[in-house]
């Protein structure tokens, strides 16, 4: 199995590339800047680098010429809606034209198309993969745990955990490494993906739950400071408003384990591994 990973210097692509290398899979990362720190780190870990852009069909097809499969990630909120849509169209077309098996880093409830660009583009990708009859599986994380890194300094200096959740809100949280583990399991499984929609959730939690985990881990008082969606970075305000409304709740947390034997990690594992302790 030879896998081309897109978005390899981002959240889920990076995790997928590392997990695939750990599984002894031949991995190439499509990167815009091979000199970037994250790209260099991947190269040191045995990942081959191919210079190219996700919105250029010839770049993707050239990189897929030596691969059997594609890890498809369009990127986070830093990309404009137009850029994400262009990447989505290009990557799906390339997979269709090269008969590549696809693992898509989607999002919980992406099918609902709530008018949030970050969500809608992933729902559209999943629908396009189905309409083109591309062999694929859709991995569906919730709110990524590394989003808490933005407030790590405040937690460490003030013992306060501000975050764009309302006080009553509960959201599914996801360790990005679990997305990588699930991708590696999907690519190396002897059964071909059959269009499954697989939630990847490390439990459903409120901000108070997260504060309790950090309090036990850091052995000091940590106060939850619910801020609501307006406190989110501008590009993420609509997403957190949608999440605060409960749109991400109700995921089948056993589906991933039943399909690939992958059990998502407890949220404490993420914070320990990320050096919060």
Whole-number Å distance between alpha carbons of 243 and 114? 11
pLDDT score at 277: 80
| Residue 245 near residue 228, CB atoms below 8 Å | no
pLDDT digit of tens for each residue in the chain (277 aa)? 899 999 999 999 999 999 999 999 999 999 999 999 999 999 999 999 999 999 999 999 999 999 999 999 998 887 788 899 999 999 999 999 999 999 999 999 999 999 999 999 999 999 999 999 999 999 999 999 999 999 999 999 999 999 999 999 999 999 999 999 999 999 999 999 999 999 999 999 999 999 999 999 999 999 999 999 999 999 999 999 999 999 999 999 999 999 999 999 999 999 999 999 8
pLDDT value for 75: 87
Which residues have a Cβ under 8 Å from the Cβ of 239 and sit 6 or more positions away? 77, 116, 118, 119, 232
- The alpha carbon of residue 177 and the mean position of all alpha carbons in its chain are separated, in whole angstroms, by 9
Dump pLDDT digits (tens) for 144-168: 999 999 999 999 999 999 999 999 9
pLDDT of 63 reads 97
- Residues 81, 150: Cα–Cα separation, whole Å: 23
- Bridge-based pairing of strands 171-174 and 204-205 is antiparallel
What pLDDT, on the 0 to 100 scale, is given for residue 271?
98
Domains and CATH numbers, the chain: 2-273 (3.40.50.720)
Give the CA count within 13 Å in the CB-facing half-sphere of 164: 21
pLDDT of 194: 96
């Amino acid at each position: 199995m030879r896998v081309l990973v897109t978005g390899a210097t981002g959240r889920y692509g990076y995790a997928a590339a590392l997990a695939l290398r750990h599984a002894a899979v031949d991995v190439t990362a499509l990167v815009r800047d091979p000199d970037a720190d994250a790209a260099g780190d991947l190269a040191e870990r045995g990942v081959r680098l191919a210079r190219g852009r996700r919105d250029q069909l010839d770049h993707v097809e050239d990189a897929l010429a030596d691969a059997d499969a594609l890890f498809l990630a369009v990127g986070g909120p830093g990309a404009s809606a137009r850029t994400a849509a262009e990447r989505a169209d290009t990557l799906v077309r390339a997979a269709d034209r090269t008969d590549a098996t696809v693992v898509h880093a989607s999002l919980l409830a992406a099918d609902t198309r709530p008018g949030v660009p970050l969500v809608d583009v992933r729902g559209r990708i999943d629908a396009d993969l189905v309409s083109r009859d591309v062999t694929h599986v859709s991995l569906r994380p919730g709110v990524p745990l590394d989003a808490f890194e933005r407030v790590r300094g405040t937690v460490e200096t003030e013992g306060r955990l501000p975050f764009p959740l309302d006080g009553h809100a509960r959201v599914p949280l996801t360790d990005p490494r679990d997305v990588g583990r699930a991708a590696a399991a999907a690519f190396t499984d002897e059964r071909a993906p059959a269009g499954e929609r697989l939630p990847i959730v490390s439990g459903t939690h409120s901000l108070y739950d997260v504060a309790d985990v950090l309090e036990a881990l850091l052995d000091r008082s940590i106060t939850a400071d619910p801020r609501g969606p307006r406190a989110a970075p501008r590009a993420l305000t609509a997403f957190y408003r949608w999440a605060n409304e409960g749109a991400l709740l109700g995921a089948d947390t056993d589906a991933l384990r039943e399909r690939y034997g992958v059990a998502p990690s407890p949220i404490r594992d993420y914070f320990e591994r990320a050096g919060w302790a």
